[in-house]
Homo-oligomer: A and B are copies of this chain.
Amino acid sequence: MRLSTRGRYGLKAMFQLALHYGEGPIPLNTIASEHDLSENYLEQLVSALRKAGLLNSVRGAQGGYMLAKDPKDITVGNILRVLEGDIAPADCVIDDTSGCDKEEGCVTKLVWMRIRDSINEVIDSISLQDMVDEQNKLLNNKA
Interface of A is mostly: helix
User: Which residues of B lie under 8 Å from residue A15 when comparing CB positions?
Assistant: 107-108
For the complex, give the distance between the alpha carbons of A60 and B131 in Å.
Answer: 58
Taking a contact as CB atoms under 8 Å apart, the answer to whether A89 and B3 are in contact is yes
Taking a contact as CB atoms under 8 Å apart, the answer to whether B90 and A1 are in contact is no
30 A-B residue pairings within 8 Å (CB atoms): A1-B1, A1-B7, A1-B88, A1-B89, A2-B88, A2-B89, A3-B89, A3-B90, A3-B112, A7-B89, A8-B108, A11-B108, A11-B111, A15-B107, A105-B135, A105-B138, A105-B139, A105-B142, A107-B131, A107-B134, A107-B135, A107-B138, A108-B131, A110-B134, A111-B123, A111-B126, A115-B119, A118-B121, A118-B122, A119-B119
